[in-house]
């Protein structure tokens, strides 16, 4: 696109190119063939200012593609971290070399005085999956610029995606779930917190899906509600009798207007007009777990829901749909059957024990 063409440092080599042709930029981190009369030098780098400019355009593109607000916000944070790093190191350009140093910093920045990104509390190494997520985000960003003819090639193309070993994550045990519910009943807002924990355990909804619910979204008669998940995909979730009973007790007093948040934030013990924030929800579940010595989070409750459904006999296709996954592979990667369940299954269905050996 002519409006986005980068100014070539070899103008004499591009006199005969068309207005829509991509222009080049010499970069220490980009390999290019010698320019000829009608060929521009390949460009695989951008200035620090251009990174920030095109980041905003790309994020707008993500919104137009109807990416979820959480996904767009995460990408915004990742790009801000890249810009912070370029400023921190005094880099005026971002090419392959600078990106290699960025990923090295991402893995070791917690070792520097002041913490990673200059945040004192970030003194622990990032998880491998976090580094991979950064690579995926920046790959999408630079690939978009190649398609838009802003760059001739992605500066990330020669940096391989980090390998991440599959983490076997265990769900909560029945005893841990019961302890978590006891903690909810002892909290300053027991009815709200009990209903909230049961909804997470009984439906497997994501944090963003739960906090976006309004009172009018819940069909107590049929024990169901509809959520809008990733990619703006709608699905119906269902609730058991125990959860419906807890919700009825919670919604009975004080009575909330139909269009108010199902789980509002609390101010001085009084429900506010705003929904419980994502951070507020994460902190609530963390605090309840800490109270009874059960380290947990919202994602683990979702995993517990899925594993419990499978252990009880639900088929994996139905569980996939309940979770809102787009394919079965996502569900298989998501679930981890507890070792205790594997042991009990073997003891119950041992091939040798089932033989009538005298």
**pLDDT tens digits, 217-273:** 999 999 999 998 887 789 999 999 999 999 999 998 778 889 999 999 887 777 788
286-307 pLDDT tens trace = 999 999 999 899 999 999 999 8
- 348: number of Cβ within 10 Å: 9
Structure tokens at 76: 């915004």
Dist CA 28 CA 59 (whole Å)? 28
174-204 pLDDT tens trace = 999 999 999 999 999 999 999 999 999 999 9
Residue with tokens 């003891």: 347
* Closest among 146, 150, 140 to 65, alpha carbons compared: 140
pLDDT higher than 50, residue 28: no
Sign of CA pseudo-dihedral 28, 29, 30, 33? positive
pTM of the model: 0.67
Dist CA 10 CA 17 (whole Å)? 12
Torsion, Cα 271 272 275 280, to 10 degrees, reads -80
Sign of CA pseudo-dihedral 134, 139, 140, 141? positive
Pairing between strand 270-275 and 234-238? unpaired
Contact 278, 211 (CB under 8 A): yes
pLDDT at position 353:
76
Dist CA 338 CA 317 (whole Å)? 20
What is the DSSP annotation of 33-88? PPPBTTBPPP---EEHHHHHHHHHHHHHHHHHTT--HHHHHHHHHHHHHHHHHHHH
pLDDT higher than 70, residue 118: yes
pLDDT at position 70:
81
Dist CA 134 CA 136 (whole Å)? 5
pLDDT higher than 50, residue 128: yes
* Closest among 100, 86, 74, 19 to 50, alpha carbons compared: 86
């Amino acid at each position: 696109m002519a409006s986005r063409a980068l100014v070539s440092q070899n103008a004499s080599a591009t006199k005969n190119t068309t207005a829509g042709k991509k222009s080049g930029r010499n970069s220490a981190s980009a390999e290019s063939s010698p320019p000829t009369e009608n060929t521009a030098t390949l460009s695989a780098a951008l200035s620090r200012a251009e990174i920030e400019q095109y980041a905003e355009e790309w994020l707008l593109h993500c919104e137009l593609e109807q990416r979820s607000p959480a996904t767009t916000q995460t990408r915004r944070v990742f790009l801000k971290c890249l810009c912070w790093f370029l400023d921190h190191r005094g880099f005026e350009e971002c090419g392959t070399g600078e990106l290699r140093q960025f990923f090295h910093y991402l893995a070791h920045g917690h070792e520097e005085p002041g913490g990673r990104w200059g945040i004192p509390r970030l003194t622990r190494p990032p998880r491998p999956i976090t580094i991979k997520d950064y690579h995926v985000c920046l790959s999408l960003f630079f690939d978009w610029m190649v398609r838009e003819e802003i760059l001739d090639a992605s500066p990330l193309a020669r940096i391989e995606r980090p390998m991440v070993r599959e983490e076997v994550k265990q769900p909560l045990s029945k005893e841990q779930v019961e302890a978590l519910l006891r903690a909810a009943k002892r909290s300053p807002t027991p009815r709200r917190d009990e209903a909230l924990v049961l909804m997470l355990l009984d439906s497997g909804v994501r944090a963003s899906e739960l906090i976006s619910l309004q009172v009018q979204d819940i069909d107590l008669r049929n024990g169901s509600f509809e959520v809008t998940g990733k990619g703006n995909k709608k699905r119906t979730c269902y609730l058991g009798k125990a959860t419906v009973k807890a919700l009825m007790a919670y919604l009975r007093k004080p009575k909330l207007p139909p269009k108010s948040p199902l789980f509002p934030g609390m101010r001085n013990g009084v429900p506010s007009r705003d929904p419980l924030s994502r951070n507020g929800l994460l902190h609530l579940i963390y605090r309840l777990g800490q109270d009874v010595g059960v380290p947990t989070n919202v994602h683990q409750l979702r995993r517990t829901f899925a594993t419990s459904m499978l252990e009880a006999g639900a088929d994996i296709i139905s569980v996939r749909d309940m979770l809102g996954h787009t394919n079965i592979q996502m569900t298989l990667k998501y679930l981890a059957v507890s070792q205790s369940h594997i042991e009990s299954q073997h003891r119950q269905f041992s091939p040798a024990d089932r033989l009538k050996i005298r």
